[in-house]
Structure formats: structure tokens, C-alpha cells
Amino acid sequence: MRHLRDDEIVDALDGALSESRERHLGSCAACRREVDAAADMTSRAAEVDVPEPSPLFWEHFQARVRLAVDEEPPPLLRASRTWSLRWATTAAVLLVLLVAGWIGRGDVPSAAEPTAAGMGRPVPAWELLERAADESVWDEDVIGFELSPGTTERVLATLSTDERQVLAQLIEAELSQSPR
């Protein structure tokens, strides 16, 4: 009968050897030596401990972790930022789709600079949308197509004042509901 394979030697250490292989082990001195040697090394390895650092180390370590953590945004703020950028991306993509018909008709407007001036008051939502475009946060795997440079600006430029107001209201309503 063939000797135990390497994985079977480990099974023997774990007491998980099949009945037939257990019978072989009982009658094969060579396999028994292999299993005993592996068991001996395992128990010797288990005795190796980690040297304890100086008691002062733990205080220093905690202080170092605290400094590193202090440079991180709070967990909720981190989630809020991520959520806001994702939402802004989604909103902008929806906007692209809304005006895609105009582009499809060949009625492509010139790339005018989109501003909130036409709405008569400053609109923070526009800034968020523009920042999302500027920071190249588009996830093409999510939106399903590739955006060429300047697409967002061109699309924003196609909106009428009324359409901009509606979009801004939608964005602001969503932002007011987002987790802080």
C-alpha cells in the first residue's frame, strides 16, 4: 500500500485520517515516523512565544495610533463624503441622460460655462456638481458608458433657467436628507 501523502500526514496530526489510511499508518513504520516527526515539530513550534516589549512601549504605541487616527476624518463624515460624491455622480449622469435627446438631434450647444447666475441666487448644489465633474469621480463601470472631457459642462449649458432650478432643488433636497 502507498505511503501517506503530505496532506494525509497533516490529516493524521489532526486526527482526521480516513479509516483505510489509518490502518496503513498503524502498520507502516516509515509513515509513523513521518507523522511523529511532524507532531514533534508542531509542538516545539507551539512553545515559541513572542518577547514582551517594554511596558513603556504600550503607552507610546497607543499615542502613535491616536496621532494617526487624529489625521483621519471621523467615520460618519467619511461615509457622508463618499455618499455625497456618489450621489453627485448619479445626479450628473441622470442629467446627461435627460438632455441626451437634444444631443441626439444634433442640437449640440456650445460649451458655455455653467453658472448659477441664471437662477438669481447662489446654489451650493451646483458647486457640488461641478466639483464632482472637476475631480473626475466618474465611475464608468457604474454609469455604463464613457464620458469625454467637457461633456458635463456642455450638458449643463443646455439647461434652461427653469430646468436648472428644478435640478438644483432636487439636489438640495437629496443633500438635506443625506447622513452627516
Q: In the range 76-135, which residues lie near another protein by CB under 8 A?
A: 76, 78-79
One-letter amino acid at 54 equals S
Any idea what DSSP says for residue 42? H
C-alpha cell at 83: 455618499
**1 in contact with another protein (CB under 8 A):** no
User: Do residues 78 and 180 lie in contact, with contact meaning Cβ atoms separated by under 8 Å?
Assistant: no
Piece of 2-10, 17-25, 108-116, 145-153 that binds another protein (CB under 8 A): 2-10
User: Do residues 151 and 111 lie in contact, with contact meaning Cβ atoms separated by under 8 Å?
Assistant: no
One-letter amino acid at 157 equals A
User: Taking the complex as a whole, how short is the minimal distance between the CB of residue 110 and another protein, in angstroms?
Assistant: 44
Piece of 4-12, 18-26, 85-93, 98-106 that binds another protein (CB under 8 A): 4-12
Report how far residue 175's alpha carbon sits from residue 88's, in angstroms, rounded to the nearest whole number: 9
Place of cell 444631443: 103
Any idea what DSSP says for residue 112? P
Piece of 54-62, 85-93, 96-104, 167-175 that binds another protein (CB under 8 A): 54-62
**9 in contact with another protein (CB under 8 A):** yes
Task: Summarize as ranges the residues that interact with another protein (CB under 8 A).
Answer: 6-7, 9-11, 37-38, 40-42, 44-51, 53, 57-58, 61-62, 64-66, 68-70, 72, 74-76, 78-79
